[in-house]
Chain A
């Protein structure tokens, strides 16, 4: 019973914060709300017996990627009032078009939910199979990561190196006096 209550609370926070993220005009507020959403998702991961992923979510997403976003928003200091003006004058933002789009989005969600809840496997409780002590141990994650997924791990490290070099090159100033 408390598990279910916690699930609904954290899901509500995650979904609500995400809705506010896309509705905010000020990108700084969007970033802080997204951090709140990530925190709620991290709590959901803990409920799913994945403490390593939960903490990695906070360390990587909320603690590093969002700091990067924050730095860029602060350094660019783009005026956010203009975004609202552009939002209103955009041809896709006329009332009829927006309402049609919103209706389509709600229809998509209703279809997805209906399909998901019809599948009999989806009604099975999520915590039945598997040994909890083994799943929550980082030792298991490490073992599988470095044996079955070794190639993906090495490829990801090369990917991060490439991304680092690419980011530095792309953001460098062009004029060299």
Chain B
């Protein structure tokens, strides 16, 4: 096989592997959430299906597949089915520009190194932001097309929350872009290579601690996770925008939520935690992606940790916090970063 076809096949393989890993990530997160929730509440969590409950996600998916597909009679036929499709498509597509490993030649198999990641776009940060902002449509259409008051209220509140926290999210992103000087995620990661004083890695989280905090809070709010999950809280709005959904259409919504979490965690790792850099030995052997996985796993654990530790925000508190505290803090962070960059580059 000549180099061109081998390259093509390997790149297809990388795309397939990324997709496969994302699907497995959502399944693993289903189990991880319930086990970690259980351990935090001093109980075991799922325990019976498979050794230590490992096959629980499989059981959940089989159960959902065999349920009856309901659609309310007055629900809008096209939009009712389109909404979960938009949600899950946006969730998967948002991971496409995110790089998860350094360039590698697979130990000399290829002449030219291939980049580990689905696509390397020079405006990758904007692409991720654009596609996550398309995910709002899934929720708002789900709420509207269900033709039910709980769904409509939940959908409107969820989408208003998502578009409000997009501002703080984008401003925190802009601060990192200023430090790195490029919109390409791969270049942002490569700018965090190396060490200060020999042992502190040059991650942007040390240069932008407030920015990282803002990004983390906005990321949690964007994915509608606790403590910002009022619109889908069981005690408040039945189940919010996905009240009327069942079986496969329903299963797509939590899957979209978990994939969004994974994308946010991956982008946070690339922007603030140095991506796959940090352990020189792994970088040398081309195994930086293992360290990347570890960091993403840690952030996902933090997501679940926050959910089961902190009480939920009320909706108006949530919106006030987003507009009155988080967005001004993000703007001040941006101005401070701009001053810092000007001073040290002049």
Contact = CB atoms under 8 A, between A and B. Distances in A.
B155 to A, nearest CB: 9
Interface in A50-77: 51-52, 55-56, 58-59, 62-64, 67, 70-71, 74
Contacts, number: 57
Interface stretch (B129-137, B219-227, B325-333): B129-137
Interface stretch (A28-36, A103-111, A118-126): A28-36
Nearest to B78: A29
B140 A63 contact: no
A152 interface: no
A84 B24 CA distance: 48
A25 to B, nearest CB: 13
Contacts of A74: 140, 144, 152, 156
B33 interface: no
A107 B325 CA distance: 57
Contacts of B126: 51-52, 55-56, 59
Contacts of B121: 51
B123 A52 contact: yes
A161 to B, nearest CB: 15
Interface string B75-90: 0101100100000000
B159 interface: yes
Contacts of A52: 123, 126
B25 to A, nearest CB: 25
A71 B131 CA distance: 19
A59 B129 contact: yes
B122 interface: yes
Interface in B168-211: 183
Nearest to A51: B123
A136 interface: yes
B82 A58 contact: no
Interface in B44-90: 76, 78-79, 82
Nearest to A59: B130
B31 to A, nearest CB: 33
Contact of B163 (A29, A62, A67): A67
A98 interface: no
Nearest to B170: A59
Given A28-B76, A74-B152, A55 B130 contact: yes
B127 interface: yes
A98 to B, nearest CB: 27
A138 interface: yes
Contacts of B183: 138
A103 B156 CA distance: 43
A156 interface: no
Nearest to A68: B163
Contacts of A138: 122-123, 183
Interface centre among B78, B123, B131, B136 (most CB of A within 10 A): B123
Contact of A62 (B122, B123, B134): B134
Interface string A132-165: 0000111000000000000000000000000000
A67 to B, nearest CB: 6
Contacts of A136: 122
Nearest to B76: A28
A100 B274 CA distance: 64
A59 B130 CA distance: 5
Contact of B133 (A28, A63, A137): A63
The 5 lowest CB-CB distance pairs between A and B, nearest first, are A63-B133, A55-B126, A58-B130, A51-B123, A59-B130
5 contacts: A32-B82, A59-B133, A70-B144, A74-B152, A137-B122
Interface of A: 28-29, 32, 35, 51-52, 55-56, 58-59, 62-64, 67, 70-71, 74, 136-138
Given A28-B76, A51-B122, A58-B133, 4 more contacts: A56-B126, A59-B129, A70-B144, A74-B144
